Amino acid sequence: MKRFPVHISLQQRRVVIIGGGAEALAKARLMLAAEADLTLIAPKIAPATRAALEGSVRLIEREPAYGDFRSAVIVFIAGLDREAARRWVDAARAASALVNVVDEPSLCQFTTPSIVDRGRVTISISTDGAAPVLGRKLRADIEALAPPRLGALAEFADLYRPSVKACIPADRRRTFWERFFDGPIAARVLAGDETGTHEEMIALLNRPQTNETKGVVHIVGAGPGDPDLLTVKALRLLQQADVILYDRLVSEEILSLARRDAERFYVGKAKSNHAVPQEEIESRMIDHARQGKMVVRLKGGDPFIFGRGGEELEALQNANIPVFATPGVTAATGCAAAANMALTHRDFAQAVTFVTGHAKGEADPALDWSALAALKNTLVVYMGVTKAGKIARNLIAHGRAPSTPVAVIENGSRANQKILKGALSELPALIDAGGIQGPALLVIGEVAALADGETLLSIADRKGLAA
Ligand code: SAH
Catalytic residues: 247, 269
Q: What are phi and psi of 290, to 5 degrees?
A: -65, -25
| 310 and 413 belong to one structural domain | no
Q: Is the CB of 223 under 6 A from ligand 1?
A: no
CATH number of the domain within which 163 lies: 1.10.8
Among residues 414, 421, 404, 412, which one has the least CA distance to residue 441? Answer: 412
- The verdict on 385 and 277 lying in the same domain is no
- If you take atom 18 of ligand 1, which residue's CA is the nearest one? 331
**Closest protein CA for atom 6 of ligand 1:** 301
Q: Is 135 a domain residue?
A: no
- Ligand 1 atom at minimum distance from 309 CA: 1
Same-domain pairing of 102 and 71: yes
> Does 223 lie in the same domain as 203?
no
Domain C-terminal end among 294, 329, 364: 329
What pLDDT score does 132 carry? 84
From the list 406, 266, 241, the residue with the least C-alpha distance to 326 is 241
**Same-domain pairing of 286 and 240:** yes
440 lines ligand 1 (CB under 6 A): yes
Q: Is 439 a pocket residue for ligand 1 (Cβ < 6 Å)?
A: yes
Determine whether the shortest distance from the Cβ of 338 to ligand 1 is under 6 A: no
Q: Is residue 141 part of a domain?
A: no
CATH number assigned to the domain comprising residue 295 = 3.40.1010.10
Same domain, 166 and 220: no
Count of domains observed in the chain? 4
Q: Which atom of ligand 1 is nearest to the CA of 304?
A: 1
- Residue at 173 is within a domain: yes
Mean pLDDT of residues grouped by 10 in the chain (467 residues)? 91 96 95 96 96 96 94 94 92 95 90 91 90 90 89 96 92 86 89 90 79 81 96 92 94 91 86 74 94 94 95 96 95 97 94 86 69 92 95 95 97 96 96 94 96 90 80
Tell me if 309 is assigned to some domain: yes
> How far is it, in rounded angstroms, from Cα 3 to Cα 249?
46
- Ligand 1 pocket residue status of 357, Cβ below 6 Å: no
Chain CA centroid to CA 131, Å: 26
pLDDT recorded at residue 401: 96
Nearest-angstrom CA–CA distance, 417 and 30: 45
Q: Is the CB of 305 under 6 A from ligand 1?
A: yes
What string of DSSP letters covers 350-400? SEEEEEESSBTTBSS----HHHHT-TTEEEEEET-STTHHHHHHHHHHTT-
Which CATH number goes with the domain that contains 100? 3.40.50.720
Q: Is the peptide bond before 402 cis (omega within 30 degrees of 0)?
A: no
Assigned domain for 436 exists:
yes
Mutate to test the pocket of ligand 1, among 441, 442, 443 (most ligand atoms within 8 A of CB): 441
Specify whether 401 is located in the same domain as 298.
Answer: no
Q: Which domain holds residue 308?
A: 214-329
Atom of ligand 1 nearest to the CA of 223: 8
Of 309, 329, 349, which one is at a domain's C-terminal end?
329
Q: Give residue 362 CA to ligand 1 midpoint distance, Å.
A: 20
Does residue 128 lie in a domain region?
no
Complete DSSP assignment for 183-217 = SHHHHHHHTT--TTHHHHHHHHHHS---S----EE
Q: Are residues 64 and 101 in the same domain?
A: yes
pLDDT for residue 211: 53
8 occurs within a structural domain: no
Residues 75 and 55 in one domain: yes
Whether residues 310 and 409 share a domain: the answer is: no
**Which of 155, 176, 209 is the last residue in one of the domains?**
209
Q: Nearest CA to 460 among 416, 440, 427, 430?
A: 430
300 lines ligand 1 (CB under 6 A): yes
Number of C-beta neighbours around residue 283 at 10 A: 13
> Ligand 1 in contact with 306 (CB < 6 A)?
yes
Nearest Cα residue to atom 11 of ligand 1? 382
pLDDT of residue 260: 87
CATH classification of the domain holding 456 = 3.30.950.10
Minimal CA–CA distance to 222: which of 192, 245, 240, 242?
A: 245
**Is the CB of 156 inside a 6 Å radius of any atom of ligand 1?**
no
Q: For ligand 1, atom 2, name the residue with the nearest CA.
A: 301
- Based on the domain organization, do 310 and 337 belong to the same domain? no
User: How far, in Å, is the centroid of ligand 1 from the Cα of 283?
Assistant: 25
pTM (2 d.p.): 0.78
Q: Is there a domain that residue 133 lies in?
A: no
Distance 370 CA to ligand 1 centre (A): 24
DSSP-derived letter for residue 403 is T
CA of 275 to the centre of ligand 1 (A): 18
Same domain flag for 324 and 222: yes
Three-state SS for 133? Answer: helix
